[in-house]
């Protein structure tokens, strides 16, 4: 006796694989640059430069810290009293950061986090919430606004999540 299986039963396995395809493709976006510091011999991970409207950002991670470095163009001066306010999509909440970099007029603004497990909540927000705009105040108290497009918001969030997950591995 020949028994046929309904087509929907035989197709459920390939269909399940198709449903997992978007998760697989998002996992493929996590490509970081890996280099060893010549002095400390520590591994440093980097996203490379990510283009934003009017700025660029590079996120680097090492065993002790995760560093967000923004490049806003030369002629903009920042010191340790300068701030950046990040605004998130769908919320009136903002997060303020002070410049952790050295005083410069090259337009470089840094904020850093300790690389810990569990991840600090402010750092976790950068990986789970879309940043709509960043407002920098230079040492002349002039405000520089960087507004992110929907695509840039997603890239910034994905790259933040990627570097955070890889930075935790450096701790062990």
Q: pLDDT tens digits for 120-152? A: 999 999 999 999 999 999 999 999 999 999 999
Taking the C-alpha atoms of residue 80 and residue 83, their distance in angstroms, rounded to an integer, is 8
Give the strand order in the sheet containing 43-52: 33-36, 43-52, 55-61, 65-71, 108-114
* pLDDT score for 99: 97
* pLDDT score for 27: 45
pTM (predicted TM-score): 0.80
* pLDDT score for 6: 54
CA pseudo-torsion sign 126, 127, 129, 131: positive
* pLDDT score for 30: 84
Segment among 34-43, 55-64, 78-87 with least mean pLDDT: 34-43
| 105 preceded by a cis bond (ω within 30 of 0) | no
Question: Above 60 in pLDDT, residue 19?
Answer: no
Mean pLDDT of 43-69: 95
Residue count (the chain) = 172
Mean pLDDT of the chain: 87
The domain limits of the chain are 33-170
* pLDDT score for 37: 84
**Residue 45, H or E segment:** strand 43-52
Fold observed for domain 33-170: Immunoglobulin-like (2.60.40)
């Amino acid at each position: 006796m020949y028994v046929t299986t309904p087509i929907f039963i035989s197709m459920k396995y390939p269909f399940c694989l198709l449903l997992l395809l978007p998760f697989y493709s998002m996992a493929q976006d996590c490509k970081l640059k890996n280099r060893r510091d010549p002095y400390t011999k520590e591994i440093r991970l980097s996203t490379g430069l990510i283009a934003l409207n009017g700025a660029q950002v590079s996120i680097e991670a090492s065993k002790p810290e995760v560093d967000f470095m923004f490049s806003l163009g030369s002629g903009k001066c920042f010191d340790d009293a300068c701030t950046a306010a990040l605004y998130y999509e769908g919320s009136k909440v903002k997060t303020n950061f002070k410049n952790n970099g050295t005083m410069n007029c090259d337009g470089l603004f840094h904020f850093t986090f300790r690389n810990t497990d569990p991840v600090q909540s402010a750092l976790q927000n950068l990986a789970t919430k879309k940043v709509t705009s960043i407002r920098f105040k230079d040492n002349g108290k002039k405000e520089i606004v960087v507004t992110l497009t929907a695509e840039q918001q997603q890239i910034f969030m994905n790259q933040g999540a990627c570097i955070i997950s890889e930075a935790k591995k450096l701790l062990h």
